[in-house]
Structure 1
Amino acid sequence: MSRDYVFAFWNVENLFDVADSPRREERIRSRIARELVGWDEAVLSRKLAQLAAVIPMLGGGRGPDVLGVAEVENAHVLGRLAAALGPGRDYGVVHAEGQDGRGIDVALLYDRALFTVNRDEIFSRFIVRRSATRDILQATLTTVAGGNTIVVLVNHWPSRSGGAYESEPYRIMAGESLSYFHQRILEEKGRDTAILAMGDFNDEPFNRSLQDYALATRARSKATHPQSQSFYNPMWRFLGSAGSYVYDGEPNVLDQILVSRGLLRRGAPLTVREETLAIEALPALRTAKGGGRKFGRPSEPKSYDPDGYADHFPVSVTVSEA
């Protein structure tokens, strides 16, 4: 009898600790002080409650068994988010402190009833331009029921601020780093290893950073070749019809899920169910113009909406275990 697991990713938009948090790294304290004016316990609690109201609705109402997140400040707010998702779930937290200038990290929540995490196989790689920026987080999960392993890579690539063309080299560097992670995992664990990369790539499936440098192909046959080191990128199907992020009324597929050969092979212990792939643009998350309903910050009153959630939509897919 097969078992299904929902894997999801969401850029939760600036999930910061409170403005005067003693847990804040000194290197970012002055950098983000202005934007966190008014970000007190009541605001943080409201933000967590809004996220926790939506996350259980993902995956067709089942909720994610594994959830990658971006734009979280520290392990403390992650723990609070995990607690807010109870009592029906017992989520563990995987987090490595990053070096981003604003202190926003990527992380992973996983259902401890369904998965274990090898704490010796948690890695984080910073993407360096002139200074370190957002990292790629790698974690190895093993299913409790079947004892099968899947490696998850959570990404948040450098933004398009300053212009998509001008900032592209930084995302190319991130793509090279992800490809390196992929290659090393295959070398260390074997060519049939199940690997799932998720994240906010700040580029679309057709951009060079993904196609040429991360080696994320739209051709399933290329990714399933026995010697392939390419990811399969099924997100191409959404281009022109849906987006995970809407900019100036135009949908952009920035948040994506990539899968390795090990999740595509017929008869593999873990296989991706491509038909379940979804951009979770739930009605509550959408503005009247179709974009994500931002929560924002009190320091920017015009865009602060305590009934909002985040400016990106989550993405999800189901993985089946034989």
Structure 2
Amino acid sequence: MTDNFTYDEIRHDMQTIAFYNLENLFDLTDDKHTNDNDFLPMSVKKWTPKRYDNKLRKLGFAISNIGKSETGKHPALVGLAEVENAKVIEDLITSQHLQDYNYSYVHYDSPDERGIDVALLYNPNAFKVINSETFSIELTNGIGLPDYTRDILLVTGLLDEEEIHIIINHWASRREGEKETEFKRLASSNKVGEIILRLRLQYEDPKIVVIGDFNDEPHNKSIKQLLDGFELHNPMASIRSYSRGSTYHNRKWNLFDQILLSVNFLKSSNHSLELYKANIFDEDFLKLFNGPYKGSPFRTYVGKKYKGGYSDHFPVYAVLKNKKAYIMQA
């Protein structure tokens, strides 16, 4: 891995929005309110200060380079999944490769049983927060008791002085089976639909970005009903292929991490943010470079075995173009 990338000029008319599942970014302290027992120095995973610092450094390097080949700069907005608390976010944004970028963040503790949350990193020079709030998903388990999962985070703000609304998600996993858990992801999808309806009642033609680890593919019902029912566009759908995705499981690529945008990001205008491109950030340094899983994400852990990598997910990103911002800063 090299920490040296060279890029062309900084594009003042472009900004990157990214999403990254960080694979269990836990701190080193035992929290009695979360299920963090595996991620302690004396646990079976031996989550030591050295391993924690190594992960922060690696994640920071990855985040700092997302979209840089297109824009020449770090991303303006980064949705995060699998962060334990505000402390790990603060440790991340002050780590080696992010400390000079002055990132701020939006985070709320959620009732998730694993003790992990979603959050939003933002560059305060590019994005100004107007409002933020969370939405819970009401689920029950097989015996009718509450089944707590990650809240959905909504952040409204000004990106290059244009108002946008970002909805950050981490839907229920398929660990107990795809069909057996589908109802949970449909419940989250329905909640996102409710949020979009509320935004459209409150704002005129709002620009909405829905990002996250959906644990579903672009063709699954939970995603399709958002596209068909709420006029969203999924630029990730055409990227999905047999040999490419954001996660790799059972020798099969999945594209669970996606970015959906309201169709007004596709309309041509000289004075508004438009979708320029979307992609998976799967640079070689994020991949295993040999062995039977060559090319798949270089993970921090495989089960209880420490590998020392980044995450079991690749980030995904969308680059937005804004001609007005270029004119103002030229």
Q: Same fold (TM over 0.5)?
A: yes
**Residues 182-201 of structure 1 correspond to what in structure 2 (within 5 A)?**
182-190=196-204, 192-201=205-214
Q: Verify: 1:174 aligned to 2:178, yes or no.
A: no
The alpha-carbon deviation at position 35 of structure 1 amounts to 4.8
CA distance in structure 1 between the partners assigned to 2:38 and 2:315 by the alignment: 28
Q: Verify: 1:204 aligned to 2:217, yes or no.
A: yes
**Residues 31-180 of structure 1 correspond to what in structure 2 (within 5 A)?**
31-36=35-40, 37=43, 38-61=46-69, 62-84=73-95, 85-118=97-130, 121-130=131-140, 131-143=147-159, 145=160, 147-180=161-194
Q: Is the 8 A contact 1:270 1:319 kept in 2?
A: no
Q: Which runs of 5+ in 2 are unaligned?
A: 1-10, 141-146, 325-330
% identical aligned pairs: 32
SS of 1:49's equivalent in the other structure is: helix
CA distance in structure 2 between the partners assigned to 1:58 and 1:148 by the alignment: 22
Q: Is the 8 A contact 1:127 1:135 kept in 2?
A: yes
CA distance in structure 1 between the partners assigned to 2:174 and 2:15 by the alignment: 33
CA distance in structure 1 between the partners assigned to 2:197 and 2:232 by the alignment: 10
The alpha-carbon deviation at position 122 of structure 1 amounts to 0.7
Q: Is the 8 A contact 1:7 1:64 kept in 2?
A: yes
Letter in 2 for 1:113: N
Letter in 2 for 1:207: N
SS of 2:151's equivalent in the other structure is: strand
CA distance in structure 2 between the partners assigned to 1:134 and 1:2 by the alignment: 35
Q: Choose from 227, 232, 248 the match for 2:250.
A: 248
**Partner of residue 28, structure 2:** 18
SS of 2:313's equivalent in the other structure is: coil
Q: Is the 8 A contact 1:249 1:291 kept in 2?
A: no
**Partner of residue 6, structure 2:** none
The alignment's C-alpha RMSD in Å is 1.9
Letter in 1 for 2:274: V
The alpha-carbon deviation at position 268 of structure 1 amounts to 7.0
SS of 1:133's equivalent in the other structure is: coil
**Partner of residue 295, structure 1:** 300
The alpha-carbon deviation at position 229 of structure 1 amounts to 2.6
CA distance in structure 1 between the partners assigned to 2:37 and 2:78 by the alignment: 29
**Partner of residue 328, structure 2:** none
Q: 1:265 to 1:2 in 2, by over 3 A?
A: farther
CA distance in structure 2 between the partners assigned to 1:268 and 1:210 by the alignment: 30
SS of 1:238's equivalent in the other structure is: coil
Q: After superposition, give the CA deviation of every residue in 1:245-282 in whole Å (9 maximum; x if it has no partner).
A: 111221111100000133222227433334x2110111
Letter in 2 for 1:166: E
Report which stretch shifted further, 1-10 or 196-205: 1-10
Q: Is the 8 A contact 1:262 1:268 kept in 2?
A: no
The alpha-carbon deviation at position 153 of structure 1 amounts to 0.8
Q: After superposition, give the CA deviation of every residue in 1:172-223 in whole Å (9 maximum; x if it has no partner).
A: 0011011111111111112x211111110000010011112xx224xxxxxx
CA distance in structure 1 between the partners assigned to 2:118 and 2:29 by the alignment: 20
CA distance in structure 1 between the partners assigned to 2:272 and 2:82 by the alignment: 29
The alpha-carbon deviation at position 100 of structure 1 amounts to 0.4
CA distance in structure 1 between the partners assigned to 2:26 and 2:260 by the alignment: 28
Q: Is the 8 A contact 1:139 1:152 kept in 2?
A: yes
CA distance in structure 1 between the partners assigned to 2:273 and 2:104 by the alignment: 23
CA distance in structure 2 between the partners assigned to 1:2 and 1:53 by the alignment: 22
**Partner of residue 285, structure 1:** 286
Q: Is the 8 A contact 1:13 1:311 kept in 2?
A: yes
CA distance in structure 2 between the partners assigned to 1:315 and 1:256 by the alignment: 7
Q: Is the 8 A contact 2:26 2:36 kept in 1?
A: no
Q: Which runs of 5+ in 1 are unaligned?
A: 218-227
